[in-house]
Amino acid sequence: MWELVKAGGWMMLPIILCSIAAAGIIAERLWTLRPSRITPPHLLGQVWRWIKEKKLNNEKLRELRANSPLGQILAAGLANSKHGREIMKECIEEAAARVIHELERYLNALGTIAGIAPLLGLLGTVLGMIDIFSAFIGNSTANASVLAGGISKALITTAAGLMVAIPALFFHRFLQRRVDELVVGMEQEAIKLVEVVQGDRDVDLTDMPAPVAKVETRKEGRKA
């Protein structure tokens, strides 16, 4: 491997740096964009339970904001729910814009790497070809095998650039798709919150986690 890197010349350095940056971005985004972290299940049901039990206060709102990106959006709407539907929706949209910006962090950089890596490889190949043919100028005893060997070395950078660009492009599309799906899910939850709080929608109890105390009581009743 090291011999291939040396044969590729100095243009291999930026390609290697691009590969390290791409790997770091992919690992960080895969960990950050976990659905269980962004949109925890039953979060809206838990919020509604707080409202019904009159436990929704500033401390609960802070806890909700710190819980997840979806929690930040729901907390923004709940904090302004007394000002009417329109104000509540505007606050949710403002919070959603900030959350989406965070979700898309580094994705543009990953897409740039996917586009620039093959160009760096092609540039390295072109520079290598220039050096090869410059060495044969004025030399009538050019050896075909030497020429072929030089060209093969020059093509190493193109191959390296493609090896970086292909997975970078794949994960850029994959992560962008995941962000889109998460945004749609958060939008649906925010719409439910607005309609429930403003009294336009009944609560779907299937979205609410059952209280632990009630579950234990039912189990004890069955044992008896």
Interval 116-154: pLDDT, tens: 999 999 988 888 888 777 776 666 555 666 666 677 777
Which tokens belong to 77?
């709407």
Q: Which range among 82-91, 166-175, 213-222 shows the weakest confidence by mean pLDDT?
A: 213-222
Q: How many CA atoms lie within 13 A of 197 on its CB side?
A: 27
CB 8 within 8 A of CB 153: yes
pLDDT beyond 60 at 215: no
* Residue range 103-120, pLDDT digits in tens: 999 999 999 999 999 999
Per DSSP, the chain holds a count of helices (H) and strands (E) of 11, 0
Mean pLDDT across the chain: 81
pLDDT of residue 61: 86
- 32's tokens: 């950050």
